Amino acid sequence: MKVTKLFVKQQHGMHVEECKIITLRRGYGIEGDINAQAGSPRQVLMASTPTLADFNLNSGDLGENILIDTQVENFSSGQVLRIGKSALIRLTFLCEPCANLDKIQPGLAQISQGKRGFLGIVVKDGVIEVGDEASLTSQLFPALPDDTKGRFNEFVRRIPPGKAVKTSDLLLALGVSKAYYRTIPIFLKKASKDLPIHRIVRADGSLLSEYISEQEQLLRQEGIEIEYNRICGNSHYWNSSYFHDLELLEERDENFIFKISNFKF
């Protein structure tokens, strides 16, 4: 596998700009890219040249950062992609098509479902150049669900006791837009009883007591200070740098080792 093109998006709503080299920062993303942000599972988007050919698209049309000459949609969440000498990217989930794709080609958003590319998180610094080799390593992270509800359950279950997450940071961790604010109450109401949803608060730090019974009591039991129905200070919030695991799993069990021979490129 090889890198055929590289791109950076400097502003939302703008087309990506082609470049010869990009710099990846661990837990942050691509330097100079608008999507670089700690805690986001959407730091890097990788697309494939076969997909562009299938839809008669130009390089960059899918908003990708890294274009690879292999069908990246055949990869799996949790696998680790090495590009160049040192850069490592944890694959998170397939990138969903957005309505903006229809501006490039009518109906593209619909027909490109599951084929827009793979999103990822940078787990090791590195510099990537056009022509660099890319390969899947034998290391694995836990897989993330493709659906938002699944990622909600996975993320909330990992919020540590004594820490809270604002709804704005929740959307960041799930990799969804602000439009999903309206779905949060639905997720809260339908959450299983063992899910610690009491650790979720509004963007201003106020409690969601109308959806979560005894939220204040449960948070106080975990040592979180509350005044006037709002969390006090910033020390009680979970730092976004820890939203997603960046530490590679040790290769202790052959059942967790990805065998590249099982894939056809």
- Divide the 265 residues of the chain into consecutive groups of 10 and give the mean pLDDT of each group: 94 85 96 95 95 89 92 93 95 87 80 86 96 93 94 96 96 93 94 95 95 94 94 94 82 41 38
pLDDT confidence of residue 162: 96
- Give the three-class secondary structure for 265: coil
Tokens of 181: 């604010």
Tokens of 43: 């730091």
pLDDT confidence of residue 103: 81
pLDDT confidence of residue 122: 97
Please give the helix or strand (H or E) that residue 170 lies within, else none.
Answer: helix 167-174
pLDDT confidence of residue 262: 41
CA contacts within 13 A on the Cβ side of 129? 2
In the block, tokens 């969440």 appear at 77
Domain 3-140 has CATH 2.40.33.20: yes
Backbone angles phi, psi at 198, to 5 degrees: -65, -10
Hey, where are the domains in the chain?
3-140, 148-242
- Looking at CATH, the fold of the domain delimited by 148-242 is given as Arc Repressor Mutant, subunit A (1.10.10)
> CA geometry: angle at 176 spanning 173 and 177, to 5°?
125
1, 135 contact by CB (below 8 A):
yes
pTM for the whole thing?
A: 0.86
CA 265 to CA 255: how far, in whole Å? 22
